[in-house]
Structure 1
Amino acid sequence: MPSFRNGPVEIAYLDEGEGYPIVLVHGFASNKNITWVYPRWVSELKRHGRRVIALDNRGHGESTKLYDPNDYDLNAMVGDVRALLDHLGLDRVDMMGYSLGSRVTGCLARSEPQRVRSAILGGLGVDMIEGGGPGENVANALEAVSLDGITDSVGRTFRAFADQTRSDLKALAACLRGSRCLATREEIASIAVPVLIAVGTIDEIAGSARALAALIPGAEVLDIPDRDHMRAVGDRAFSAGVLDFLSRRP
Structure 2
Amino acid sequence: MPSFHNGAVEIAYLDEGEGDPIVLVHGFASSKNVNWVYPTWVSELRKDGHRVIALDNRGHGDSAKLYDPAQYAIAEMAADVLALMDHLEIPRADVMGYSLGGRIAGHIALTSPQRMRSAIFGGIGMAMIEGGGPGENVALALEAPSLDDVTDPVGRTFRAFADQTRSDRLALAACMRGSRGLMSREDAGRITVPVLIAVGTTDEVAGSASALGALIPGAEVLEIPNRDHMRAVGDKVYKAGVIDFLSRRA
The TM tier, using the shorter chain, reads over 0.9
- Measured against aligned partners, the alpha-carbon deviations of 1:196-242 in whole angstroms (never above 9, x if no partner) come to 00001111000000010000001011111111111110111110111
Instruction: Give distance in 2, aligned partners of 1:132 and 1:151.
Output: 19
Structure 1: runs of 5+ lacking an equivalent = none
One-letter identity of the residue aligned with 1:49: G
Q: Is the 8 A contact 2:132 2:205 kept in 1?
A: no
- Is 2:243 the counterpart of 1:243? yes
* 1:65-144 map, 5 Å: 65-131=65-131, 133-144=133-144
Q: How far apart are 1:149 and its partner, in Å? A: 3.2
Instruction: Give distance in 2, aligned partners of 1:20 and 1:114.
Output: 16
Q: Is the 8 A contact 1:16 1:53 kept in 2?
A: yes
* 1:1-250 map, 5 Å: 1-131=1-131, 133-250=133-250
SS at structure 2 position matched to 1:114? helix
- Aligned residues with identical type, % of pairs: 72
Q: How far apart are 1:249 and its partner, in Å? A: 2.1
One-letter identity of the residue aligned with 1:68: D
Q: Is the 8 A contact 2:29 2:60 kept in 1?
A: yes
Instruction: Give distance in 2, aligned partners of 1:131 and 1:249.
Output: 29
Instruction: Give distance in 2, aligned partners of 1:133 and 1:66.
Output: 23
Q: How far apart are 1:154 and its partner, in Å? A: 1.0
- Measured against aligned partners, the alpha-carbon deviations of 1:70-118 in whole angstroms (never above 9, x if no partner) come to 1111111011011001101111100000000000001001111111010
Instruction: Give distance in 1, aligned partners of 2:169 and 2:132.
Output: 19
Q: Is the 8 A contact 1:139 1:177 kept in 2?
A: yes
One-letter identity of the residue aligned with 2:37: V
Runs of 4+ in 1 over 6 A off after TM superposition: none
Instruction: Give distance in 1, aligned partners of 2:149 and 2:223.
Output: 35
Q: How far apart are 1:44 and its partner, in Å? A: 0.1
SS at structure 2 position matched to 1:148? helix
TM-score if structure 2 supplies the norm length?
0.98
SS at structure 1 position matched to 2:10? strand
One-letter identity of the residue aligned with 2:83: A
Q: Is the 8 A contact 1:133 1:180 kept in 2?
A: no
Instruction: Give distance in 1, aligned partners of 2:7 and 2:132.
Output: 27
Q: Is the 8 A contact 1:132 1:182 kept in 2?
A: no
SS at structure 1 position matched to 2:57? coil
- The two structures, once aligned, show a CA RMSD in angstroms of 0.8
Q: Is the 8 A contact 1:203 1:228 kept in 2?
A: yes
Q: How far apart are 1:152 and its partner, in Å? A: 1.1
Q: How far apart are 1:133 and its partner, in Å? A: 4.7
- Measured against aligned partners, the alpha-carbon deviations of 1:14-69 in whole angstroms (never above 9, x if no partner) come to 00000000000000000000000000000000000000000000000000000110
Instruction: Give distance in 1, aligned partners of 2:151 and 2:202.
Output: 22
Instruction: Give distance in 2, aligned partners of 1:163 and 1:218.
Output: 40
Q: Is the 8 A contact 1:201 1:227 kept in 2?
A: yes
Structure 2: runs of 5+ lacking an equivalent = none
SS at structure 2 position matched to 1:53? strand
One-letter identity of the residue aligned with 1:190: R
Q: How far apart are 1:132 and its partner, in Å? A: 5.7
After the TM superposition, which of the residue ranges 131-140 and 87-96 deviates more from structure 2?
Answer: 131-140
Instruction: Give distance in 2, aligned partners of 1:38 and 1:206.
Output: 22
- Residues 222 and 229 of structure 1, relative CA distance in 2, 3 Å threshold: same
